[in-house]
Amino acid sequence: MERKSFIREEKYKNINDSVKKIIEKYTEKIPVDIEKIVSESGVEFLYKPLAVNVSGKIEKDGDKYKIIVNDFHHPHRQRFTLAHEYAHYLLHKDLIGDGITDDGLYRAEKSMGFFGEIAANRLAAKILMPVELINKLADEVNNIAGIAEKLNVSLLALKIRLGIANR
């Protein structure tokens, strides 16, 4: 008997074809190489210590963009933050200006607000946890924790992606 897919969805809606090709190139192997996706897209990134409540930020410097990820955070958090800030670059480039910082107050106080954060989180999750890889791993691994481990993401992030956890 054939196993049903965990989830199905439209792939990378509203993203230009050249970026889609970069993302698809690096989302075929487990775990997804988010660093190669970001760097091949022309976005610089670095890891450095930031305040505890700041996961990362994206800044515009001239005509280039740079993502800074909190070096103190867990590697799973760092991967998601890099994907999240990259999603802001793809979805909200025109709103970045001097920078977007992802911290606990951001969602309530900044102009992009809650819905911009939701969109960035959803795209980041699609990139790090593509449907095809989740479904492939579901056939190989017998539990969700094992799938999360293989994808190099937190169990909570995967549960949210699958719609089986509260946010």
Domain of 24?
A: 17-129
Residue 143 lies in a domain: no
Residue 36 lies in a domain: yes
Separation of alpha carbons 36 and 53, rounded Å? 26
Residue 75 lies in a domain: yes
pLDDT for res 160 = 94
| Amino acid sitting at position 114 | F
What's the mean per-residue pLDDT of the chain? 86
Supply the pTM of this predicted model: 0.85
Residue 153 lies in a domain: no
The count of domains in the chain is: 1
Residue 76 lies in a domain: yes
Separation of alpha carbons 71 and 21, rounded Å? 29
Residue 62 lies in a domain: yes
**Nearest-CA neighbor of 96 among 43, 53, 48?**
43
Q: The domain spanning residue 48 has which CATH number? A: 1.10.10
Residue 69 lies in a domain: yes
| Amino acid sitting at position 112 | M
Higher pLDDT, 99 or 134: 134
64-70: strand order across its sheet? 44-48, 64-70, 54-61, 100-103
pLDDT for res 110 = 47
Residue 108 lies in a domain: yes
